[in-house]
């Protein structure tokens, strides 16, 4: 595993939140992660995913929309990607799949290529969004990301609960960020 000296080395983690709702539990989790990031880790949340048009090769290229250019720059500047997402109708939210589509283009050369990526999140019900998390890993892997399968957290909660208000739950998400920041593909491959 990579070791970080908090005085000199910083790992930049970009969070993609799968919910556009301002009061989303997954957004609150992402904000808690950003506020309590471990030493040596900077956490940014990608804003504007709702401004991305649906992927269309006709509008891609040098004249891509500003929201696309901004997302690609954020993904390219990050050392790691963390997806924090709920589950919609048994799968990943469309806004998240669209962001992955844009970040993967041009295919084989996109900003997401070889970027270590982990998927976590929270959802109502007994599985906590597990199907969406599995689908997101699959989509990101096909898009070229280096999906870190060892980092999984599908947190289930009951209606009316706020997972971001529970310190123990937030600690689990922070542990996932720590693991992602410490991920070293060379060590894993060895």
- In CATH, what number is assigned to the domain containing residue 112? 3.40.50.360
Residue 189 lies in a domain: no
169: in domain: yes
Contact partners, residue 151, CB within 8 Å, separation at least 6: 118, 119, 120, 176, 179, 180, 183
Q: Give the CB-side neighbour count of residue 8, counting CA atoms within 13 A.
A: 2
In a domain, 3, yes or no: no
Of 185, 88, 95, whose CA–CA distance to 145 is shortest? 185
Q: What is the mean pLDDT of residues 106-114?
A: 95
Tally of domains in the chain: 1
Long-range contacts (CB closer than 8 Å, 24 or more residues apart) made by 62-68: 68/102
| Greater model confidence, 185 or 45 | 45
Dihedral angle at the C-alpha atoms of 83, 88, 91, 94, nearest 10 degrees?
-70
Look at residue 187 in the predicted model and tell me its pLDDT: 59
Whether residue 157 has pLDDT greater than 60? yes
User: Has residue 179 been placed in a domain?
Assistant: yes
Work out the mean pLDDT of the chain and round it to a whole number.
92
**Is 131 among the domain residues?**
yes
The pLDDT of 64-80, averaged and rounded, is: 98
Instruction: pLDDT band for 33, please (50, 70, 90 cuts).
Output: very high
Interval 54-79 mean pLDDT? 97
With 70 as the cut, is the pLDDT of residue 59 above it? yes
pLDDT at position 6 over 50: no
Residue 85's domain spans which residues?
11-184
| pLDDT greater than 60 at residue 84 | yes
Whether the predicted pLDDT of 40 surpasses 90: yes
42, 119, 105, 88 alpha-carbon torsion, rounded to 10°: -120
Q: Is the pLDDT of residue 182 over 60?
A: yes
Helix (H) or strand (E) holding 34: helix 25-35
* Amino acid 158: pLDDT: 87
Q: Is the link from the previous residue into 106 a cis peptide, with omega within 30 of 0? A: yes
Q: Is residue 37 part of a domain?
A: yes
Does residue 43 sit within a domain?
yes
């Amino acid at each position: 595993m990579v070791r970080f000296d908090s005085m000199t080395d910083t790992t930049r983690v970009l969070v993609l939140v799968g919910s556009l709702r301002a009061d989303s539990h997954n957004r609150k989790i992402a904000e808690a992660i950003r506020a309590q990031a471990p030493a040596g880790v900077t956490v940014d949340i990608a804003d504007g995913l709702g401004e991305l048009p649906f992927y269309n090769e006709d509008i891609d290229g040098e004249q891509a929309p500003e929201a696309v250019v901004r997302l690609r720059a954020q993904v390219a500047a990050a050392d790691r990607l963390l997806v924090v997402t709920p589950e919609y109708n048994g799968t990943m939210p469309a806004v998240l799949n669209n962001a992955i589509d844009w970040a993967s283009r041009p295919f084989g050369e996109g900003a997401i290529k070889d970027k270590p990526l982990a998927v976590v999140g929270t959802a109502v019900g007994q599985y906590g969004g597990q199907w969406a998390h599995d689908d997101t890993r699959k989509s990101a892997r096909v898009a070229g990301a280096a999906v870190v399968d060892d980092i999984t957290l599908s947190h289930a909660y009951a209606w009316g609960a706020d997972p971001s208000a529970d310190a123990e739950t937030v600690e689990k998400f922070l542990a996932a960020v720590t693991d992602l920041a410490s991920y070293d593909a060379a060590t894993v491959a060895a």
